[in-house]
Amino acid sequence: MRRGICSLLVASALALTLPLALPLALTLTLAGCKGPGRDEAKKAEADTLQLEAKVLATVGSRAITVGDFLEALSSLDDVDRARFEAPARRKELLQALIETEALAQEAIAQGLDKTPAVAQELRAALRDAMLQEIHKTVPRPEALPEADVRAYYTERLGSYSEPERRRLQAIVVPSDRDAKRAVSLLGHEPSAAQFGEVAKAQSTDASAKSGGPVDLLGDVGFVSAPGDDRGTNARIPAEVRTAAHALKGVGSVSSPVAAQGVFWIVRVASVSAARARTFEEVDKTIRIFLAQELRVAAEKKKLLTLASEAKIALDPAVLERVLRGATATHDGGLSP
Main-chain dihedrals φ then ψ at residue 253, nearest 5 degrees: -125, 140
pLDDT score at 13? 36
Question: 31-61: per-residue pLDDT in tens?
Answer: 444 445 666 766 666 666 677 888 888 898 8
**275 membership: H or E segment, kind and range:** strand 275-276
The answer to whether residue 333 scores a pLDDT higher than 70 is: no
The answer to whether residue 251 scores a pLDDT higher than 80 is: yes
Q: Residue 68 CA to chain centroid, in angstroms?
A: 29
Q: Apex CA 260: angle with CA 255 and CA 264, to 5°? A: 25
pTM: 0.53
The answer to whether residue 327 scores a pLDDT higher than 70 is: no
The answer to whether residue 234 scores a pLDDT higher than 70 is: yes
Question: 165-207: per-residue pLDDT in tens?
Answer: 999 999 999 999 999 999 999 988 899 999 999 999 999 999 9
Q: Apex CA 243: angle with CA 214 and CA 234, to 5°? A: 70
User: 200 vs 328, which has greater pLDDT?
Assistant: 200
The answer to whether residue 29 scores a pLDDT higher than 90 is: no
User: 254 vs 210, which has greater pLDDT?
Assistant: 254
Torsion, CA 111, CA 115, CA 121, CA 122, rounded to 10:
50
Every domain of the chain and the residues it spans: 2-108, 164-273
Radius of gyration of the chain (CA): 34
pLDDT score at 37? 63
The mean pLDDT value for 302-311 works out to: 85
Percent of the chain scoring above 70 in pLDDT? 82
Integer Cα distance of 179 and 219 in angstroms: 17
The answer to whether residue 12 scores a pLDDT higher than 60 is: no
What is the CATH code of the structural domain delimited by 164-273?
3.10.50.40
The answer to whether residue 136 scores a pLDDT higher than 60 is: yes
The mean pLDDT value for 217-227 works out to: 93
Helices (H), 187-256: 192-202, 238-244
For residue 64, give the nearest of 97, 86, 37 by alpha carbon.
Answer: 97
CB 44 within 8 A of CB 33: yes
pLDDT score at 89? 84
**258 membership: H or E segment, kind and range:** strand 257-259
